[in-house]
Chain A
Amino acid sequence: MNMDALLLSLRLALCVSVILLAGGLPLAYWLAFSNWHGKFLLETIVAMPLVLPPTVLGFYVLIAMGPHGPLGKLWQMFFGHGLAFTFEGLVLASVLYSLPFAVQPLIASFESVDRTLLDASAVLGAGRLRTFWRVILPLSIPGVVIAVVLSFAHTMGEFGVVLMVGGNLAGVTRTVSIDIYDHVQSLEYAEANRMALVLLAISFAVLSVVYAVHRRVGRRLWTPWTAK
């Protein structure tokens, strides 16, 4: 079995989950509580990866990251090398691709917090930040778990975006799904099967966590197939 590919996928999924959690919390808070009229535009952008073919997303990210693209130029300026076909580029593309899987469960659970509790917190003197940390976030733990687990699993299994942005560089951008594809191309079905089983097991484990959490909180917070 190709341990390099598996470790790379795990490292990628971990990085993406952490970044999405850190960035998803403020973004989801804003989307859940803002009264701005144009909010739907941002909601649309966040949901885009759900319906966009990974190759389309990957294509534009690749263009942006390329030596003439804005992201690529910026990266070149700060780090002295390009962004396309690197691990960092893969992380960035995966963050965009998994954004709805992190942000939408967070929005759903923030919105399900009883607004009277937020009013109670305000009249007791707590500002927004304190209300978020002490009331909204603790009551949204199931949503946070689902967000992390789904963005992890989704990143583990992605193929199209990785292929477009990362290519197929062993130890740098060759993830599990690319590895499986390679094996099948070379008619190495036994090898492909081993890797595929690993992904299958991970997906099963992850979805059981999602459903176990749903069962515990007694209501559906969010699942990708209800949004699709």
Chain B
Amino acid sequence: MDTVDGEINRAVLTARLKMERLRPDSPPFLLDISIEVPPGITILFGPSGAGKSTVLDCIAGLARPDQGRIAAGEEVLFDSHAGINSPPQARRIAYVFQTLALFPHMSAEENVAYGLDGLPHQERSARVEEILEAFRVDKLRARKPPEISGGERQRIALARSLVTRPRVLLLDEPLTGLDAELKAAIVDDLRAWNAARRIPILYVTHTREEVDALGERVMAMDHGRVVSEGTPIEVLEAPRRKRLAQAAGFENLLSATVVDLREADGVMRVHLNGSLSELEVPLGYAAAGDRVRVAIRAGDILLATMPPQGLSARNVIEGRIVRMETCGTLVRARVDCGVEFIVHLTPGAVRSLELAERCRVWLVLKTHSCHLVEE
């Protein structure tokens, strides 16, 4: 084991990323996450469009976050404040793409040796030999990717990435389309390879089966954020409703207890658990005393600096701003009203209302902006 490997053993990948991407015909995509990937396999789980691949691209240096910091162990790879942004060539981060991206005109052996440019010939072939054997594809060395079967192509892509002795491995749904047995065999070989080296491996997937099969640590992502983190059981068995509501884009998910029903008005009053506040929400199939969840989009909440009067909106809640974060052209305010609300504001609104942390504010919520989700 050389010194480079000794250094790798302690490397934890940390990434804080903020990124805004404008998309035609839909609201801008906001990525805002902070993750820590210890040695071993960590799964990044979430539906397509959650931003998983963007996270990998940022870590690999193929995409540039607006703000944040990425570090592998001690070494800073990206830091927007310090102006550090090392190119993908210098990061020593391996990346296995969803399409594998094997070079179709090169043999398996040439593919694997590609990243070892500059090494003396002898060491180069020794390393290629070693890794081809570790991933059981040494018999296929002379074949080109189109002539190699699924499963073995994945093994060659892993070998090509790992032969460079990277400090982090990123995997973007590399085993999609393989049957469970084949997946398990490949993952076993990957685990065996990593047993001695202990590098952080970030494995992206959108299928629960892979989470169950691989799972050590799981981070669930949705709409550019990490929504839960833990063991596969903790993450996958979290209340289904909660995940559904968040998948639909609700930043505020509050638990509440039904106080009374006003059927003539089509509304009911609920008490927000953990606070003194009450909300008027659309009538749902519930009885007084039932526990419900109320989901509210951060962009649906109005914010006033004085107690508002003469409003059609039925819900006005007093609170205090505890935090404001600027995220591209969006300001995210956390407002403590006994329970915490997330409110989205424009930078212009923040300036003209002179909003700051610790400001006293009133939140205005329309009854029909409160969506009921059964507990």
Contact = CB atoms under 8 A, between A and B. Distances in A.
Contacts of A130: 117
B62 A119 contact: yes
B117 A123 contact: no
Contacts of B97: 116, 119-120
Interface in B88-112: 88-89, 91, 93-95, 97, 99, 101-105
A127 B90 CA distance: 10
A119 to B, nearest CB: 5
Interface in B184-240: none
B101 A120 contact: yes
Interface in A99-135: 114, 116-117, 119-127, 130, 134-135
Contact of A139 (B95, B105, B160, B164): B105
Contacts of B103: 117, 120-121, 134-135
A125 B87 CA distance: 9
A117 B157 CA distance: 12
A8 B113 CA distance: 47
B62 A122 contact: yes
Contact of A126 (B91, B101, B102, B114): B114
A116 B99 contact: yes
A46 B94 CA distance: 39
Nearest to A119: B62
Given A114-B99, A123-B95, 17 more contacts: A119-B95, A119-B101, A120-B95, A120-B102, A120-B103, A121-B114, A122-B62, A123-B62, A123-B88, A123-B91, A123-B161, A124-B114, A124-B161, A125-B164, A126-B114, A134-B114, A135-B103
21 contacts: A114-B101, A117-B101, A119-B62, A119-B95, A119-B97, A120-B103, A122-B62, A122-B87, A122-B88, A123-B93, A123-B94, A124-B114, A124-B164, A125-B115, A125-B117, A126-B89, A126-B114, A126-B117, A127-B89, A134-B103, A138-B105
